[in-house]
Structure 1
Amino acid sequence: MLTVRIGLLPIIAVLGIIFFAVFLIMRSQSHTLSWYPEFPGPEWLQVPNVPKETTSRQRPCGIPKPCPEGDFSFLIASGAANVVGPKICMEDKMVMGYVEENVGYGINIAVVNGKTGEGMKTAFFNMYDGDIEPLVEFLESIENGSIVLIATYDDPATKLNEKARKLIRELGSSAIQSLGFRDNWVFVGGKGADVESTLEKHIKNNRDKNKYDSWPEMIELQGCLPRYLE
């Protein structure tokens, strides 16, 4: 019988090579070795932990900087064509959006408490083949002291009538008078307070470019809002 004897040194050498290969793979991963509790790795190799509040998971709206103390930060984005839905954020929190599953074609509205910044109610209204009355009733129900944020998606204007336009105009919008088929529009205003009409963006749809399948580019509006006084 032939007996093969392997010395201790070759075994150590093989284990060393395996260990070094694993070390190089893990080093290339930009992770700390401390994820494995029994092998924390040398201190120079570890990557500092990123604070949770700065990660995109914790900041879904991506508002770049905080507002002055006492003000509310907001971000509104219109829909992109009839493919990507709009989003409405307050204080870097998603109030309306795809993830929240509360947006839809037409006009999307979020009503926020002007003193606390807390969301009060949201709704969307199909302005192509829907009914105008629910939108009118919703606008009439908004309480004084509320912040109102609006974002459009696909077509916001086919069913709009003068009554609905007047109610939105009273919230501070000037663009509502010329809002048309498949226009993109974002707006932030208020009920019962002076609101600058510049807190909105409006892009007309160029129907001459493609009569049956055209939309303007997505638009975004962000900034700071003062709290309503007691």
Structure 2
Amino acid sequence: IVGSVLNNAGVGINIVTLNGKTGEVLNTDHFDMYGGDVETLIKFLKSIETGSVVLMASYDEPATKLNDEARKLIADLGSSAIQTLGFRDTWVFVGGKGTSVKSSMEKHVKNDQASNKYDQWPELVQLEGCIPKYLD
């Protein structure tokens, strides 16, 4: 769905939205949260249709430009980790627009120079599973 081969992924936060009933890809985009503008992310988040499944993954730096409004919009999709997402953290999340339940499909690894696996970078994370029924 997203990757450098498809030329639709980049630094910051990568997002895919899916139709919650059919699984059809609705949108893919990425938002540079180090050198970019958080307002483009906010506009994208506000445009997500109710009933959509939302996939998010960090690449490089996901948090520098995040403000309270952007964090709240992502939390409203079911993220718990977005409130503590920091500089160069590794993060992956599956949520949904219109759900009132926090997602169990989320992994977050803090950037910590003392424990980073790859010099200045935390370990990679992988998320597997089925999307919960409450996103139906």
Mark yes or no: TM-score above 0.5: yes
Structure 1 residue runs without a partner (length 5+) = 1-94
Larger relative contact order (CA 8 Å, sep ≥ 6): 2
Q: Deviation string for 1:38-57 (max 9, x for gaps)?
A: xxxxxxxxxxxxxxxxxxxx
Aligned to 1:165: 71
**1:116 aligns to 2:22 (yes or no):** yes
**Aligned counterpart, 1:148:** 54
Residue 125 (structure 1) aligned with residue 31 (structure 2): yes
Deviation (angstroms), 1:227: 7.8
Report the CA distance shift for 1:145/1:216 in structure 2 as closer, same or farther (over 3 A).
Answer: same
Measured in 2, the distance between the counterparts of 1:112 and 1:123 equals 12
Q: Identify the match of residue 87 of structure 2 among 170, 173, 181.
A: 181
Q: Calculate percent identity across the aligned residue pairs.
A: 60
Q: Helix, strand or coil: the match of 1:201?
A: strand
Contact 2:115 2:122 in 1 (8 A): no
Residues 105 and 153 of structure 1 are in contact (CA less than 8 Å); yes or no, is this contact kept in structure 2? Answer: yes
Which residue in 2 is equivalent to 1:76? none
Q: Displacement of 1:196 after TM fit?
A: 3.7
Which letter maps to 1:117?
Answer: G
* 1:222 is the counterpart of 2:106: no
Whole-angstrom CA distance in 1 between matches of 2:115 and 2:124: 17
Structure 1 residue 208: Cα displacement: 5.2
* CA–CA distance in structure 2, aligned partners of residues 181 and 195 of structure 1: 27
- The runs of 5 or more residues in structure 2 that have no matched partner are none
| Deviations 1:99-136, CA, capped at 9 Å, x for gaps | 21100000000000000000000110000111110000
- How many residues are aligned here? 133
In 1: Cα distance, 2:45 partner to 2:78 partner: 13
- Structure 1 runs of 4+ with >6 Å offset: none
Is contact 2:110-2:122 (8 Å) kept? yes
Larger radius of gyration: 1
**RMSD (Å), alpha carbons:** 1.7
Compute the TM-score of the two structures, normalised by the length of structure 1. 0.55
